[in-house]
Amino acid sequence: MGYIFDSNDARFYDAWFDKACRGHAFNLEMDLLLRMLAPHECDRILDIGCGTGRSLEPLLSKGLHLTGVDPSTPMLDIARGRLGEKVDLHQGSAEALPFEDNAFDHAILFTSLEFTERPAKAVEEACRVARKSVIIGVFNSHAPLNLLRRIKNIFVSTPFSQAHYFSIWELKKILYAILGDVPLTWRTTLQFPWCSGPLAGFIEQQALVERSPLGTMIIMKIKPVPKFRIRPLWLRVKLARNYDPVSGFARIIHKEHKNGDSCLRKAG
């Protein structure tokens, strides 16, 4: 199941998003996520590891059917206070989702795969329940800001001390190992984490810049091959009149008028 946030972690996580520097970063991350998700109205979206509901807020006005799942009760309590009845919230693990196959159009893992015990299983589950695409947003292990965060976490314990940071190549290796050669695209954002403002945002959103492997956040889109459970159906079969239940063959009489004789042949 991985690391589960307690009450202190939940308050720390939610307060971390309220910092001024996070506002610019979060807007860039969600803008890229939404562009890659490209949902249609009435699509069913599952946010796996929805936490306090921050990543669901930008989706509320899109006309989507939203569902969130998280193993942490304190995180879900904050999410319910933030989202009310607008989102269907469930308690559950990313490695064992409580939903049927292909129950959603899209599944999102946004800053949640880092905290799972078995990332490959979590991705496999996301692909099981999502019909159109799976979007993964993770902290990039090669990004300068995340390198500083990892050094800081050695000396200061925070929930992010429990996170596993991924590189683009590590993530692709995991995905191809469990899913095969599925369609996959990636972009990164927050290349310049110490800069903010309209100009910085404009530069960040350029296609060439988003192809940098050093962005703070990796957003990766997978189009999983649809999987369906096949249920056997009973068919009525009318047996041939000369069917032999012992041999499993039908005895068919072919009359041949060659030399005036008849012969008996066995046909399968």
Q: Which residues partner with 47 through β-bridges?
A: 68, 108
* Spatial separation of the C-alpha atoms in residues 151 and 54, rounded to whole Å: 26
Residue 265 lies in a domain: no
- Whether 230 is covered by a domain: the verdict is no
State the Cα–Cα distance between residues 83 and 50, nearest whole angstrom.
11
DSSP-assigned letter for residue 134: E
Q: How confident is the model at residue 126 (pLDDT cuts 50, 70, 90)?
A: very high
Asked if pLDDT for residue 255 goes beyond 60, the answer is: no
Is 206 within the bounds of a domain? yes
Distance CA 45, CA 47 (A): 7
Q: For position 77, what pLDDT does the model report?
A: 95
Give the Cα separation of 84 and 168 in Å (integer): 35
Sheet (strand 44-48) strand order: 88-91, 65-70, 44-48, 104-110, 130-139, 217-222, 184-189
Query: Domain range for residue 15?
Result: 7-222
Rounded to an integer, the average pLDDT of 19-29 is: 82
Q: Above 50 in pLDDT, residue 230?
A: yes
For the chain, how many structural domains are there in total? 1
Cβ contacts of 151 within 8 Å, gap of 6 or more: none
Residue 254 domain-assigned? no
Q: Is residue 259 part of a domain?
A: no
* Structural domain contains residue 61: yes
State the residue for tokens 């050669």.
181
Domain-located, residue 76 = yes
Residue 57 sits in a domain whose CATH number is 3.40.50.150
- 252 or 139: whose pLDDT is higher? 139
Residue 133 lies in a domain: yes
> Mean pLDDT across the stretch 11-30?
83
Identify the CA nearest to 45 among candidates 65, 69, 70.
Answer: 65
Both structure tokens of 148? 């500083």
Q: Do 216 and 24 touch, CB atoms closer than 8 A?
A: no
